[in-house]
Amino acid sequence: MNTEPIAYIVDDDPALRDALSMLLESVEIRASVFARAEDLLNSGALTQPGPACLLADVRMPGISGIALLERLREDGIEIPTILITGYGDIPMAVRAMKLGAIDFITKPVNHQALLELVQNTLRDYSPAAAPDAGADLLLQRFQELTPREQQVFQCITAGQSNRMVADELGISVRTAEFHRARIMKKMQMHNLADLTLARVTIQDRLSQSAG
């Protein structure tokens, strides 16, 4: 039985399916494509052993990407899942992360970033740890921030501007901007939306640890 790493792609857009498949196979990652989530579920592919990850579009006819995540959780199927969408919907992204998605990316997809994400996911794959791996990594990065950076982190992910952060913490706006840039770099985030999603995941992980 083949246990080589594989990426399952579910998207109703044939052009995107083909593009993602060719992209992954260009770096020798096997890709298996499906037009609908129902096709993937009925195939039984997700019960096969070996390193695997799932790339699924959020908005699809029939079972959506979010509904697919819910179905997988109900069925006890643990596979690292990356959701792809054409819309930057933060509430939807938060819901996806709570359901166990390891990332939520928007179109147009940055090919190099996606390749690195898939390669790292497959390299670190562990069925028992898959849903928690991303959360643990985010928590580790957060804990490596300085106490002041953690304060700024909480402020900016609560929607405060640099001026509001400066006023609340008694620092200059320039210092607030400096801390913000350092936080983005240390947390390896590209924008505030991603950082805000990270806060939700970190809070969930801290709550679980406290419990």
pLDDT in the model for residue 149: 95
Q: What distance in Å separates the CA atoms of residue 34 and residue 32, rounded to the nearest whole number?
A: 7
- Tell me the CA end-to-end span of the chain in Å, nearest whole number: 41
Range 6-128 classified under CATH 2.90.10.10: no
**Would you give the DSSP letter of residue 188?**
T
Q: Name the segment(s) of the chain with CATH classification 1.10.10.10.
A: 138-210
Mean pLDDT in residue range 79-89: 80
Tell me how far apart the alpha carbons of residues 201 and 203 are, in angstroms, rounded to a whole number.
5
Count CB-CB contacts under 10 A for residue 91.
Answer: 7
pTM above 0.75, yes or no: no
* pLDDT for the residue numbered 137: 79
DSSP-assigned beta bridge partners for residue 55: 9, 82
Chain region(s) in the chain for CATH 3.40.50.2300: 6-128
pLDDT for 140-172, tens place per residue? Answer: 899 999 999 999 999 998 889 999 999 999 999
Determine the pLDDT at residue 165: 94
Alpha helices in the chain (DSSP H): 14-25, 37-43, 65-74, 90-98, 111-123, 130-143, 147-156, 162-169, 173-187, 192-210
Fill in the amino acid letter for 132: D
pLDDT (tens digit per residue) in 26-41: 998 999 999 999 999 9
Residue 122 has pLDDT above 70, yes or no: yes
Measure the CA–CA gap between 32 and 6, rounded to whole angstroms: 7
Average pLDDT, the chain: 85
**Could you tell me which residues come within 8 angstroms of residue 144 by beta carbon, excluding any fewer than 6 positions away?**
186
Task: Output the pLDDT for position 211.
Answer: 58
% of the chain at pLDDT higher than 70: 91
> pLDDT tens for residues 128-144?
444 455 677 788 899 99
User: So what's the pLDDT on residue 202?
Assistant: 86
44, with CB counted inside 10 A (0-12, 13-18, 19+), is: exposed
Nearest Cα to Cα of residue 67 among 10, 118, 114: 10
Q: Choose between 42 and 201: higher pLDDT.
A: 42
Report helix, strand or coil for 12.
Answer: coil
pLDDT at residue number 173: 93
Instruction: Quote the percentage of the chain above a pLDDT of 90.
Output: 39
- CATH code of domain 138-210: 1.10.10.10
Where is pLDDT greater, at 109 or 132?
A: 109
Give pLDDT, residue 7: 94
